[in-house]
Structure 1
C-alpha cells in the first residue's frame, strides 16, 4: 500500500522504515520541509535498534501531493501540530481514504471529523491509544527504534467502520491491535501524558539543568506510586462511562515486554536490561509542552463531565503552569472549537461513536 505519513520526526521516520521494510510504500511530508531535506537529497532512511532497515523512501513537496495517490494517511507528529496537519490535509482527503492518528490526543479525531463534514467528505478516522513504536531521531536520515509494542489499542470513527479500521491496521503493521469501544475509550487510553507528568514533575530539575539521566532508573517507588495514583483517576473516569481500558501496569508490560509488577519495579527492570533510554535533557520537552495541554487537559475535562474529578491531573497542569510561568492549558488549539464541556456524558459518548455528519 502507498501510505502518506504526515510528519517527519522520530515516530514518522520509524513508521516509514517499518512500512517500507514490510513491502509498503511510505511517502513522508514535513510541514516545514526541514526534517526531510536529507531524504529528499537522496540519503537512505536508516533504522537501527529493535529492527534494521536502510533504503531510500519517497518525500512529498506538499501535503496535496503526499495524499494524491495514497491508499491511506497517517498523522505522526506531536499533538501540538495535529490541527495544522489536519487543516492542511482536509482539502485534499477524498471519500473513503482512511486516516490513522498516531497517537490520538485531545479529541483530534472529532476536530478532523468536523472539518471533513463541512466539506461533505466521508472517510474512516482510525485512532491509536499510543504509537506502535518508540524511537529517537539521530540525524536527518537516521532513527533509533527503541521498541515495537506488542499491543496497541485502536478504534475507528465512525464505529460502523471499525472492522475496516482493524483490517487496515493489521495489513500495515501486523497482528498487534486491540479493538476498543470507540473514540472515547481511546481518549482514555493514551497513558503517556499521565506517565510523563509523574516522570517530568519529579525530575524537573534534571531536565532544567540538562543532565543525562536514565528515565527508567528514576521511576523510583515514589514516582511509581504517583503514576499509579494518576492511573486510578483515569480508570475511575473510564468506569463512569462504562468503558474498559488498559491499566498502566498492563501498558508497561505489553509495551516493553516485562512481567507485570509495580510501575517502579517494571521500569527498574527495563533500566537494568538497558532498554529504557534517557529522560528529557531540557525543560523544553514534549513531556510538558505537549502532554500537559493536549493530554492532561482532556482527562480533566472528562473528569468534570463524569463527576469523577481528576484532581491530580488538574494539579499537574497548575503546577507546571506555575513552574514555567505560562498558562499551558491555553496552548490547546483543538478543544476550544469543539465545545465538549457543554455536552452531557451521553451526548459525548454518541458523538464519539458517530462523529459529525457530512
Structure 2
C-alpha cells in the first residue's frame, strides 16, 4: 500500500522503515522541509536497533502531493504539530481515504472530523493509544528504533468504522492491535503524559544541565510510586466513563517485554537488559512541551467532566508552568477549537462516538 506519513521525526522515520521492510511504499512529508533534504536528494533511510534496514523512501514536496498519491495517510509527529498538519491536510483529504493518527492526543481526531465535516467529507479516522515504535533520530537519514510494541490500542472515529480501521492496521503493521471502545478509551489509554510527568519532574535538573542519563535506570522506587499514583487518577476517570483500560504495569510489561512488577522494578529490568534508553537532555523536551498541554490537560478536563478530580495531573501542569515561567496550558491549540469544557458529559460521549 502507498502510505503517506505526515511528519519527519523519529517516529515517522521508524514507521517508514517498518513499512518499507514489510513491502509497502511509504512517503514522508516534512512540514518544514528541512529534515528530509538528504532523503529527497536520493539518500536511503537507515534504521538500526529493533529494525535493521536500509531502504529508499519517497519524499513529498508538499502536503497536497503526499495526500494525492496515498492509499492511507498517517499523522506522525508531536501533538503540538497536529493542528498545523491537520489544517494543511484537510483541504486535500478525499472521501473514504483512511487517516491514522500515531499517536492520538488531545482529541485531535475530533478536530480533524470537524474540519472534514465542513467540507462534507467522510472518512475513517484511526487513532492509536501510543506509537508503534520508540526511538531517536541519529542523523538526517538515520533512526535508531529502541522497541516495537507488541500490543497497540486502536479505535476509530466514527465508531462504526472500527472493523475497517482494525483490518487496515493489521494489513500494514501485523497482528498487534487491540480494539478499544472508542475515542474516549484511547484518550485514557495514552500513558506517556503521566509517565513522562513523573520521569521529567523528578529528573528535571538532569535535563536542564544536559546530562547523559539512563531514563529507565532513573525510574527509582520514588519515581515509580509517583507514576503509579498518577495512574490511579487515570484509572478512576476511566472507570467513571465505564471504560476498561490497561494499568501502567500492564503497559510497561507489554510495551517493553519485561515481567510484571512495580513500575520501578520493570524499568530497572529494562536497564539491566541494556534497554534503559537515554532521558531528555533539555527541558525543551516533548516530555514537557507536548505532554503537559496535550496530554495532562485533557485528562484534567475529563476528570472535571466525570467528577473525578486529578490533583496530581493538575499539580504537574502548575509546577511545570511555574518552572517554565509561562502557562503551558495555553500551548494547546486544539481544545479551544472544540469547546469541550462547556459540553455536557453525554453530549461529549456521543461526539467521541460519532464525530462531527
Regarding TM over 0.5, the answer is: yes
1:174 offset after TM fit, Å?
Answer: 0.2
Structure 1 SS opposite 2:258: coil
1:347 offset after TM fit, Å?
Answer: 1.3
1:57 offset after TM fit, Å?
Answer: 0.8
- Indicate whether 1:296 and 2:286 are aligned: no
- The equivalent of 1:250 in structure 2 is 250
- The equivalent of 1:354 in structure 2 is 354
- The equivalent of 1:189 in structure 2 is 189
- The equivalent of 1:337 in structure 2 is 337
Structure 2 SS opposite 1:46: strand
1:111 offset after TM fit, Å?
Answer: 0.2
CA contact (8 A) 1:237 1:303 kept: yes
- Indicate whether 1:33 and 2:43 are aligned: no
CA distance in 1, matches of 2:55, 2:350: 45
Structure 1 SS opposite 2:54: strand
1:51 offset after TM fit, Å?
Answer: 1.7
CA distance in 1, matches of 2:294, 2:221: 27
User: Cα deviations across residues 148-193 of structure 1 (Å, max 9, x unaligned)?
Assistant: 0000000000011000000000000000000000000001010000
CA distance in 2, matches of 1:345, 1:65: 40
- The equivalent of 1:75 in structure 2 is 75
- Indicate whether 1:261 and 2:258 are aligned: no
CA distance in 2, matches of 1:223, 1:9: 28
User: Cα deviations across residues 60-81 of structure 1 (Å, max 9, x unaligned)?
Assistant: 0000000102101000000000
CA contact (8 A) 1:241 1:345 kept: no
1:251 offset after TM fit, Å?
Answer: 0.5
- The equivalent of 2:236 in structure 1 is 236
The alignment of Structure 1 onto Structure 2 pairs a total of residues equal to 356
- Indicate whether 1:157 and 2:154 are aligned: no
1:344 offset after TM fit, Å?
Answer: 1.6
1:206 offset after TM fit, Å?
Answer: 0.5
Q: After the TM superposition, which parts of structure 1 deviate over 6 Å for at least 4 consecutive aligned residues?
A: none
User: Cα deviations across residues 28-69 of structure 1 (Å, max 9, x unaligned)?
Assistant: 000000010010011100001012110211000000000102
CA contact (8 A) 2:17 2:51 kept: no
* Worse-superposed segment, 147-156 or 50-59: 50-59
1:342 offset after TM fit, Å?
Answer: 1.3
Structure 2 SS opposite 1:322: helix
CA distance in 1, matches of 2:245, 2:349: 15
CA contact (8 A) 1:3 1:72 kept: yes
1:168-179 aligned within 5 A: 168-179=168-179
User: Cα deviations across residues 88-147 of structure 1 (Å, max 9, x unaligned)?
Assistant: 000000000000000000000000000000011000000000001101101010000100
CA distance in 2, matches of 1:199, 1:237: 22
CA distance in 2, matches of 1:193, 1:180: 19
1:258 offset after TM fit, Å?
Answer: 0.3
- The equivalent of 1:274 in structure 2 is 274
The runs of 5 or more residues in structure 2 that have no matched partner are none
